[in-house]
Structure 1
Amino acid sequence: MSGRHGAGRATTLAASTTCGALTILLAACASPVGGQALPVHGPRDAPRPPAPAPYDPCALLTEREAEDLGLEPRGTPMPGEPERLVPPGCSWSPVDGVPSRLSTFSIVVSVDIHPEEFYGTAPPTGTRTVGGYEWSRRPNPFGEQFCDFATQARGTRFVGIGTSVLGEPEQACAVAEQALPLVSAHLAGR
């Protein structure tokens, strides 16, 4: 008798206890909480379409300026990937036949992605003021052969210049540093 009926009582008792706990939890959820809802800073839950950039990344260097840097005259637009926290940009290839270790050169313009989301949270390794803009050197997690600078321009979260070289990490910033005054002049001339 106790086997069959005892099990029934234990099940009834467990169900009652579960129901009671659930009722308390639901009642707690229904009570108002004081305060004000504020947005959370950090990565977004759902991808949003990128906001229109106030600057065209490919227009931040003229064809002549690109050639003077040893780059092809026209850059290639790169669409942003907000779900991967990558802002829209423009990339230029090194000119064929020019002796250079430069591998990549790009400019990005972000209106909705924070620099810390794109570059990571490591603090800048240095700053310099060029053309009225404070450019910070951002460490790159892929190594010393990469060089990244970022600044904040009107209407943006940041504008970034990035280069990479094949070998010779001490030359990683050479072209990026030459581009800083050129890009700054375009940002200021807007």
Structure 2
Amino acid sequence: MRWRIAAVVAAAGLVSACTTTVSGTPQPAPGRITVAPVSSTDPCTLLTTDEAAELGLGPGTPKPAQPSYRVPPGCEWRSLDPDASLDDSLQAYYGTDQTMEEYFAAQPLGEKQIGGITWQHYSSIMGDWLCNLAVKLGEMEFVVLSGQNLLDPSKSCVVAERAAPIVAAHLPQR
């Protein structure tokens, strides 16, 4: 009996010696966004990595702002289809230093109700192969989703429209 008690005590000592408390906060693998932070102006948080994958897109790649061209910080998700090139990719921009009207300097082509909010549809100076959906969040705050399809311009809005209800769920409530 003493032998069994000694074995149990020894085993407990070994198990406790093998455990270590690690300080810090658990983090996902680099480049993997699993939960969008609340009230973030980082455009790459507008879609989680899993949401992007559901849309057929890879992880988001941050794009720095280009102040001289009035382009806010952005994020790009490329299609997982190796034959897609830049077609069916998605870009998101989160502007906080100019109005949406200043950014586009044009009237919207129309409105689209997607994901419970009204998105403005803007043309692009680049051509019909590029689609811009934008939503105003405040006087100096807006989000733009840009889709593109060079091979078939009639499909330029497809990815942006599919992403819009997901992005809408991550936008701050106003």
**Do the aligned residues in 2 keep the contact of 1:127 with 1:137 (CA within 8 Å)?**
yes
Cα 1:162–1:179 change in 2 (3 A) is: same
Q: CA deviation at 1:172?
A: 0.6
Q: Which residue of 2 aligns with 1:105?
A: 90
1:118 aligns with 103
- Cα 1:100–1:186 shift into 2, 3 Å: same
SS of structure 2 residue aligned to 1:113: coil
Please state whether the residue corresponding to 2:167 is helix, strand or coil: helix
Distance 2:172 2:152 in 1: 33
- Cα distance in 2 for partners of 1:55, 1:155 equals 15
Residues in 1 aligned to 2:133 and 2:78: alpha-carbon distance in whole angstroms: 18
- Correspondent of 2:75 among 87, 90, 95: 90
1:11 paired residue number: none
1:68 aligns with 2:54: yes
Residues 138 and 165 (structure 1), Cα distance of their counterparts in 2 relative to 1, 3 Å cut = same
Deviation at 1:69, TM superposition (A): 1.3
Give 1:30's aligned residue.
none
Cα distance between partner residues in 2 of 1:99 and 1:76: 17
Of 112, 122, 126, which residue of structure 2 is paired with 1:128? 112
SS at match of 1:167: coil
Q: Which runs of 5+ in 2 are unaligned?
A: 1-38
Gapped regions of structure 1 (runs ≥ 5) = 1-52
Match among 25, 33, 42 for residue 56 of structure 1: 42
Q: Distance in 2 between matches of 1:99 and 1:110?
A: 28
CA 112–99 in structure 1, closer or farther in 2 if over 3 Å, else same: closer
Larger % of helix: which?
A: 1
TM-score scaled by structure 2? 0.69
Please give the TM-score of this superposition, normalised by the length of structure 1. 0.64
Q: Deviations over 1:144-166 (max 9, x none)?
A: 11100000125852100001112
